[in-house]
Structures are given as structure tokens and as C-alpha cells.
Structure 1
Amino acid sequence: MRYEAPTPEDLARLKARLGYTGSQMAELFGVSDDKQFRKYTGGKEPRKISAQMLFFAMAKLVLKQRDIEAVIDEMRKVGATMDMSEAAGEDTQ
């Protein structure tokens, strides 16, 4: 697989298109808070969004909740512990 991460500008456009706050973007991408998400959108050397992170976020945007839950159920079947509530934080995402 060949993958090139979206640029910080691409992520800013996505945020604007969705009308999301930084906290909402952090939740979408499975990071702990808006401060962590900003590491992908600014600074001297912004981090690159991994293909897995981008896939996770876009899946949450386009899949029906029952489909997301089916994937999470499969993850649990192989031993993962998952809590998708916002209060769960980054470690369990």
C-alpha cells in the first residue's frame, strides 16, 4: 500500500467542512484532546496522520453505527478491550 498523509491544510479544510471544534476532531481521530490533534495541524513539523488513524476517522464518518459496532465486536473476539465513550480517553480508543 502506498499512502501519503493529508497535509495540515487538508485537515483544516476537513475540520471547516465538518464544522467541528478541535475537541470534536480529536474524538473523531481517536486522540485524547484538541491539543493532541493540533500536533497534526500545526507547529514547525506537524505530525503525519497515519493511514490507520485516517481510516478510523473516515469510517466513523461514513459507516452506520451498527457497522462500527460489528467491527468493534470482532476486535473484542480476538482479545481487544474497547470503550468508545468519550470519557474513556485515548488509551482505549
Structure 2
Amino acid sequence: MHYKAPPTQGLRLLKEQLSFTNAQMAHIFGVATGRQFHKYLSDEDKREMGFHVLMYGMANLQLMRGPITNVEQLHALGREIGAIIELEDGEPQP
């Protein structure tokens, strides 16, 4: 699998669309504090979001909208905010 974390602007846009604080975003993505989530948004103290953190957040986001029927829903949500998620040939598909 090839993965590239969502860009800062994608995460900022999602935060704005949800009208969430950094603390609320931290809860959705399973990170300890709003300050820790802020590092994903910062241009100076930049931290790239790991795949597992992104998928946890996308699972919570999907559950806010309705049921999760397959993992591709989560991949699609991640791609909507700018993450690159490419499964390689031979990898199990949902």
C-alpha cells in the first residue's frame, strides 16, 4: 500500500465543515489532546498523520453519518480530505 497523509488544508477544511474545536477533532481522531491535533494543522510544528490515526478518524466520521459497510468507505473519506491511499495489486479489496 502507498499512503501519503492528508495535507494540512484538507484537515483544516474538515474541521471547519464540522465546526469542531481542536479538542473535538482530537477525540474523533483518537489523539490525546487538542494541542496534539493542532500539530497536524501547524505549518511550524508540523506532524504528518499516520494511516492508523486517519482510519480511526474516518471510521468515527462515517459512524456519525451512518453505518460502515466496507473499508473502502473509509479510504474514500480519507481521499476526500487529500490523503493518498493506493492499494497495490494482490492486496485484499473490500
Give TM-score, length-normalised by structure 1. Answer: 0.64
1:90 aligns to what? none
1:61 aligns to what? 61
Spell out structure 1 runs of 4+ moving beyond 2 A: none
- Equivalent residue runs for 1:1-93 within 5 Å: 1-63=1-63
Provide the identity percentage. 39
Bigger radius of gyration: 1
Relative to total residues, which structure has the larger strand share, 1 or 2?
A: 2
State the one-letter code of the partner of 1:52.
H
Give the whole-Å Cα distance in 2 for the aligned partners of 1:15 and 1:57: 12
Q: Which runs of no fewer than 5 residues in structure 1 stay unpaired?
A: 69-93
Give the whole-Å Cα distance in 1 for the aligned partners of 2:20 and 2:36: 15
Q: How many residues align?
A: 66
Give the whole-Å Cα distance in 2 for the aligned partners of 1:51 and 1:27: 16
Task: Give the SS at the match of 2:12.
Answer: helix
Q: Which runs of no fewer than 5 residues in structure 2 stay unpaired?
A: 69-94
The CA RMSD measured in Å over matched residues stands at 1.8
Structure ranking higher on relative contact order (CA contacts 8 Å, 6+ apart): 2
Per the TM alignment, residue 26 of structure 1 is displaced from its structure 2 partner at its CA by 0.6
Give TM-score, length-normalised by structure 2. Answer: 0.63
